[in-house]
Structure 1
């Protein structure tokens, strides 16, 4: 079995098995369309042991609509960092009601961690990696306890590390990350939203095309990459919930 090249060591047996299973699931359901694939994951493969993570951002309605048709009671984990736009919170509430989702969980950071590491509320400016870690990564780790897998809305066309995403991947904590929209394009998203009368995020018309926390989200200029407004001017391109524990350790966190 191929070892972990980044760490220079061989993955432990449980991770080797998880990677093999993730590849098998990706291959087994390769010919299914998005809805049928999601249904297989939710109803069969991970029944009762799967959650959906959603930012209720610019493209979130498409995946939420798919899942609501399959099982409106599926747990939806929403990371309420305390730094979000008010528009995002109101969009979450409106979309939850419209789609009939019955188990949307607003996951918040540990107040003690925030008080200890972000006493003045501007950790995002001096140490954005740590800010994301205590406001997103740690809360999600706690929220995922008891679940074997989780669904994300990541897509290959977003570029960067997302360019080679498989439909199913193993994470280093032994869970499975399901990426049903990997092959969708921006045009696919827009066509689906129009076809199903799904409302856009209210900030989209103002030029915000990838929406996260307010201090770290900027408008995207015509011709710019979709995610150019996230952490503008910094090398950071991901909040970190999809990074491995090893990657966090290399930057001195965890």
Structure 2
């Protein structure tokens, strides 16, 4: 970490180990911090040129992006266009970019050579969804994050499952990973949308509570977990970018 604290830089050992030490220190310091404070701390630790926001521009993405824009709208935003996204998601990306004044939104695509080799018929999502997610999300994100030393994402504990116990700051290989909304409640999130007049994703009105790629996203029923419509019936709850090290 080029801009980390002097005490951190004075230590020796593998880079991933040092990142873990710094992440644990930051997590203790920021355990109760508000989202804007977490984002500001990330900026202070690595600097704008080494910090990225990763956003799906999904149903709850406007909240994190609003906090980011208020702190520094020039922080790079990485958006993964898998080739399977709803047109409404692409429109929402453009809407939020303009509304919030985001200055550096980078749309990343999977490698055509990988898709030609492994998913020429575009049916990999059906036979091997994990591999499909790897080619279309995990690998492109790892490539996109190469210049960065830390990244921000929008996971929240109230989403449950593997996210129920996420820290505010964690190590992701040799990178720091900040979860500014980890402590935010569902009611607080709704209040933010109302007070800041943030537009909802266009598909929310159609019954979609969590939105990813078209083939693996379905509407949720009343009372279902918001992420129940993701990879329904496949025994899968995450695409892989939050369980696979990106370094």
Same fold (TM over 0.5): yes
Matching residue of 2:9: none
Give, in angstroms, the shift of residue 164 of structure 1.
0.8
The CA distance in 2 between the partners of 1:188 and 1:112, in whole Å, is: 43
Q: What residue is the counterpart of 1:251 in the other structure?
A: none
Corresponding residue pairs, total: 233
- Partner-residue secondary structure (3-state), 1:52: strand
CA RMSD in angstroms comes to: 1.3
Matches within 5 A, 1:69-80: 69-80=70-81
**Could you tell me how far apart the structure 2 residues matched to 1:245 and 1:180 are?**
19
Distance 1:33 1:189 in 2: 13
1:23 aligned onto 2:29: no
Hey, what does 2:57 align to over in structure 1? 56
Q: What SS is found at the alignment partner of 1:115?
A: helix
CA distance in 2, matches of 1:235, 1:145: 31
- Structure 1 unmatched ranges of 5 or more: 1-11, 247-254
- 1:191 corresponds to 2:183: no
Distance of aligned partners of 1:29 and 1:245 in 2 relative to their CA distance in 1, 3 Å threshold: closer
Q: TM-score scaled to structure 2, two decimals?
A: 0.91
Deviation per residue, 1:75-98 (Å, 9 max, x gap)? 100000000000000010011001
Contact 2:110 2:137 (C-alpha < 8 Å) held by counterparts:
yes
- Alpha-carbon distance in 2 for matches of 1:188, 1:31: 15
- DSSP 3-state at the match of 1:164: coil
Structure 1 partner of 2:207: 207
How far apart are the structure 2 equivalents of 1:76 and 1:156?
Answer: 22
Matching residue of 1:139: 140
Partner of 2:243: 243
**Separation (CA, whole Å) in 2 of partners of 1:122 and 1:31:** 44
In the TM superposition, residue 245 of structure 1 has moved relative to its aligned partner by 5.0
Question: Where does residue 223 of structure 1 map in the other structure?
Answer: 223
Deviations 1:27-71 (A, max 9, x none): 1223432212211212x1121210000000000000000101111
| Separation in 1, partners of 2:171, 2:155 | 15
Structure 2 distance, partners of 1:231, 1:153, is: 19
Displacement after TM superposition at 1:157 (Å): 1.0
Cα pair 2:38 2:178 within 8 Å, conserved: no
